[in-house]
Structure 1
């Protein structure tokens, strides 16, 4: 009987998260175009807007007012997240909107977050794309860390590069903190290390592992070391104008290897495209973008690499 149940069980979707620290780097645009290309490749895709304080994915799809949102699931108007998915007019592409005028989503409680995460993992789809909010709150980082594909978007500007690195750094320390939640002494060491001006002289993850070995145990050090290696952000530089701009991700890659002991990959870059700005201003669906656009070609290449 158990074997029969396993055979009938639907496979969980592959989850992609699109994050990147501060707003304005084009996360929602990239999420939308990723979903578009995946749907064109025959992948059943759900775009999920988890930017609960400023959801806008529906506008990227030309939907003025979503008839159902994740808030309807949280407030128990619907029993299953699947029921909240709405059609976008594009075959194989659906939307889970986070839009809400109610603060319950913007101030998501831990139990609500866990409920949404579990439900996302049970959706009847091939790929679920999470469009994350800005900043590095625990909610944003936890949705990022649950994903199989962790995409970090930045622009070539120095402040954006700094913000993207801070996002990656905070994601690493958030994962380590969660691992240590049942070990108070280890958690205390990690929280102290998170302060750049800490008195333990911990400046890098390598320093942290050494401090854990000295103050806690070698077993704890090995646990953290293994988990760190599983964090593999994929970097996308958006709104590039020149070949030099495309190297912005390389900076984060090198700094992350040196200070965080992780090895981000560089997915590629996306050219700045005035057509996208005009479509957003005119509330036109991005799925109607000219296929000859360099920007959409850049997103296609990223999708091809990820699948």
Structure 2
């Protein structure tokens, strides 16, 4: 059984939509899939699946020791796919203690499924990071916007530091070194991973060995969502370079997904896009990602070599070009068939130009803040 946690550095990047549609695609491939809503405090994944009300969920499992995860499994309209709701309305559900967290992880690993897909909340809380690290190959969803890319990097950075602190005992020489760094006023997360590992090797070889093994197993994957242009695919390389240079972590590229207004129509109809329009460019991109997941999880313990990661980024660029041309061809077909009037086409272009203008403003704001930060001597 494979656990696939799906996270994001910030909200609004389409994480839940990816989780739901990926779960359906894997189920359609004949795999037994359980989709878990662990966006605790803000769970709404049931709405994406078209489920109007949930009788019980994660909150009942946490608050009542007699309730098991199997007791809150819900059938869906999709064969091979079961769903566990999150219960956002239960007060305090987002603030799990360590015992509750370990209990949920243990029970999820006991589910009768080929894949357990976990939709996590956005951000870098310890609970989110620990659920993300329940698999060596967690998926982070981001978009080409500068803020989303930075937040995705910060999420992975927090995950790496969580791996370090989880594998160094507090009272060990390495633990004492980390505590000393904190007390001296040097923020741990501003330090380079290489420096920390060198100091661990010097002060605590046993902890260094343990952390090194854990970091070697950490091989996260990325999905770049809401593309507008094939050039957007290149922005993933910046994230990859930052992870490689500063986190000593290689980030695999699972694929790209273009922005499509059909997604909003499908969502308002309470239907996942794969069910609403399976032949759309968006749906085909999700099926393509599902195929990669199926191929890569044949042996979850295999370490991915650098050549395979290089190929994943090259393929993403090719996929961006192909899908962009498919979008253009689709619009032309609608126009020639009379299903799309000239006025509709003009309105579509106007909306795209407005979105591009907003992105440019956001980019300028980000650049201004970055310049100020550099001038003030701030280092990431």
The TM-score normalised by the length of structure 1 is 0.89
Q: Deviations over 1:63-98 (max 9, x none)?
A: 111122111111227532111110111100110010
- CA drift of 1:35 comes to 0.3
- CA drift of 1:183 comes to 3.8
- CA drift of 1:194 comes to 8.1
- CA drift of 1:33 comes to 0.8
2:151 corresponds in structure 1 to 163
Please say which structure displays the higher CA radius of gyration: 2
SS of equivalent residue, structure 1 residue 101: coil
1:223 corresponds in structure 2 to 210
8 A contact 2:137–2:221 mirrored in 1: yes
Dislocated runs of 4+, deviation >6 Å: 192-195, 199-202
Change (3 A) 1:193 1:182: closer
Indicate which of 133, 137, 140 corresponds to 1:145. 133
Residues 1:83 and 2:71 are matched in the alignment: yes
Gaps of 5+ in 2: 295-380
Indicate which of 18, 25, 31 corresponds to 2:6. 18
Change (3 A) 1:18 1:206: same
- CA drift of 1:225 comes to 2.0
SS of equivalent residue, structure 2 residue 77: coil
May I ask how many residue pairs the two structures share in their alignment?
293
8 A contact 1:59–1:285 mirrored in 2: no
- Kindly indicate whether structure 1 or structure 2 has the higher relative contact order, using CA contacts under 8 Å at least 6 residues apart: 1
Gaps of 5+ in 1: 1-12
> How well do the aligned residues superpose, as a CA RMSD in angstroms?
2.1
Alignment of 1:65-144 (within 5 A): 65-76=53-64, 78-144=66-132
- CA drift of 1:249 comes to 2.1
1:281 corresponds in structure 2 to 268
Change (3 A) 1:259 1:64: same
Change (3 A) 1:77 1:184: closer
| Aligned-partner Cα distance in 2 for 1:61–1:38 | 15
| Aligned-partner Cα distance in 1 for 2:242–2:112 | 38
1:7 corresponds in structure 2 to none
1:296 corresponds in structure 2 to 283
Moved more, 178-187 or 84-93: 178-187
- CA drift of 1:186 comes to 1.8
1:246 corresponds in structure 2 to 233
Change (3 A) 1:148 1:220: closer
